[in-house]
Structure formats: C-alpha cells, structure tokens
Amino acid sequence: MSSAAFNSFDSLQFAKKLKAAKVSEEQAEVVAEALRESFDERDKALAAIEAKIKELAVDAKNNAEKMATKEDVVRLEGRITNLEQTMNAKMEGMNSKMDGLENRLLVKLGKMLAIGVGLIVTSIGIAAGIIIKLMPHA
C-alpha cells in the first residue's frame, strides 16, 4: 500500500460542501485546511511506517538467509563426526608409529648397552690379561 493512496483529500471540494451547509467561507476554508494538514501528517506517518516495514522485511529476508536450517545443523554434525573419526584414525596411526619407534629405540638402546657392556668386559679381560702377563711369576 502506497502513501499516495491516502493523499486523495480535496480541501477545495470539502470547503465547498461546508459552504453549502451554511458554514461561513472563512470557517470552511480553515476547517478544510486543518483537515488537509491532518491528512498530510497522517500520510507522512504512514509513509514512514511503510518504509520501516519494507526495511524490516529486507532485514528479515537477509537474516533468514543467514539462519541455519535443521538440515544445515544435521549436515554440520555429520561433517564434525566424520572429522572426529578421521582425526581419531590418524591419531591411532600416529600412536602405532610411536609405539613402533619406541620399540625400535629400545632395541637399539639394548644393543648399544650390550655392546658397551661387551666393550667393558673385553677391556677388563684385556687389562686382566696384561696385568697377569706383567706380574712376576713366583
């Protein structure tokens, strides 16, 4: 509804009707002018209301486009679940690799310890042999 639809008051026609009803010309003109001003104010107010309604309608449409539907939420929940599953699978794979690395590290450390102990024992054996050879025989 446009505010132009309300702006159809004919103050001259109204003043003529008042004059025909034996109202003085001056009074008829004042009443007609006051009524026209009143209608103008009403039309301005209605135009402002109409503009606000259009603005609210645009805002509502824009907000409706931004709002998530139930299907959007369900779809996002599914994507989050898939991401969690993928992340958990990758974490399990990483944990398996870490366990494998830990085992390999323990084996290598064990070998190094065995070699170290072997070197110490060998060194002690060689040192003992040298000492025995160097000792006077009685």
Both tokens of residue 29?
Answer: 């003109």
pLDDT tens by residue, 53-80: 999 988 888 877 777 788 989 999 999 9
Q: What local confidence, expressed as pLDDT, does residue 32 receive?
A: 87
Three-point CA angle 78, 84, 86, nearest 5°: 105
CA distance 14 to 23: 11
pLDDT tens by residue, 8-51: 778 888 888 888 888 888 888 888 888 888 888 898 999 999 99
Q: Any idea which of 1-10, 41-50, 120-129 has the lowest mean pLDDT?
A: 1-10
- Does the pLDDT value for residue 1 go beyond 80? no
Burial letters for 30-62: b for 16+ Cβ neighbours within 10 Å, e otherwise?
eebeeebeeeeeebeebeeeeeeeeeeeeeeee
CA distance 71 to 21: 69
pLDDT tens by residue, 94-116: 999 998 999 999 999 999 999 99
* pTM greater than the 0.75 cutoff: no
CA distance 47 to 26: 31
- Does the pLDDT value for residue 82 go beyond 90? yes
